[in-house]
Amino acid sequence: MIVGLGEWGLHYRTIEDHCRIAKSFDLRYLELGIGGDFPGRIQRDISQQAIDDLLICMNDYGIKAPFVALENDFTIGGQEQVTKMKERVAHDIRLASRLNATHVRLFTGFELASEMTEERWAVMLQAFAEMNELCTELGMVISIETHGRNTQVNNGFIHEHTTSTEWISLQRLLRELPSAVGFNFDPGNLKAVDPSRPVTDYAKLLGDRINYCHLKDWKQVGDYWVACAPGDDNLNYDELLKVVPFQGVYLIEYEQVDDVVEGIGRSLDYLRSIRPDLRIEW
């Protein structure tokens, strides 16, 4: 099992800080993020000189970052809105290529699965077909994150099903998306959006279409969920990982910004306790 570091939770720190933290844990892989007004995310108008400086910085720390998280929603409404979204995503995919990415994380979108019309499905699927063509040209693959619609409540979120979490919708995506389009399997998100269904069911459904993975957990507080580290709650990663066929880098995604370094440490301690074969390099 190979482990790296996801970027969410670190987004208020500079990317050099991300590298420094990864190195402090002897990790070699990072996830980068594009978009959003955060010091730890790459701006869309970044210059080539700044890209070169970033790549030099990562190299100096011995860090690789083949995984880039993009922000998108292909379920947002009409064709005009989705066309603008596709233009932005295409720009970000090209930028990710300049950063030497191999995988780009996308969302299907945040419309509730129950509200999706056939027209919206068609528009969304066409958007992925076009983005997949671009990624193929650039030598990259798409990874759709299993992510619900999150509505903030206090220090947590209510999770509701989108097309990337609802069971029947996921089956449809597997059938109708280009076969090269994979999934960013986030078992914590799936637990929080549907605690009645074993997360192992999702792992078996997605199977070898999993080409990216986030590791975290969510703790239920009343009617909402608070993000936490693997091992902090009851998601049994020891059993889950036995049925996940993915052989790539598993990215720890500790979301709480106030104690992110401590949370990464707890995550690693837990993962080492259940996977003595844990590695930091290919």
Every domain of the chain and the residues it spans: 2-274
Looking at residue 281, its pLDDT comes to 80
Sign of CA dihedral 37, 58, 47, 70: negative
**pLDDT tens digits for range 93-102:** 999 999 999 9
Indicate the SS3 state at residue 268. helix
Looking at residue 48, its pLDDT comes to 97
Looking at residue 37, its pLDDT comes to 87
Q: In the chain, which ranges are continuous DSSP H helix?
A: 15-24, 48-60, 79-98, 118-138, 167-176, 187-193, 199-206, 237-240, 260-274
Looking at residue 50, its pLDDT comes to 97
Looking at residue 79, its pLDDT comes to 85
**252, 280 Cβ separation under 8 angstroms:** no
Looking at residue 102, its pLDDT comes to 98
Looking at residue 234, its pLDDT comes to 97
Looking at residue 78, its pLDDT comes to 82
**pLDDT tens digits for range 80-121:** 899 999 999 999 999 999 999 999 999 999 999 999 999 999
Looking at residue 42, its pLDDT comes to 97
The CATH homologous superfamily of the domain defined by 2-274? Divalent-metal-dependent TIM barrel enzymes (3.20.20.150)
Mean pLDDT for each consecutive 10-residue tract of the chain (282 residues)?
Answer: 97 98 97 94 97 98 98 92 97 98 98 97 97 98 98 97 98 98 98 97 98 98 97 97 96 97 98 91 74
Give the position of tokens 């619609």. Answer: 149
Looking at residue 279, its pLDDT comes to 84
Looking at residue 280, its pLDDT comes to 79
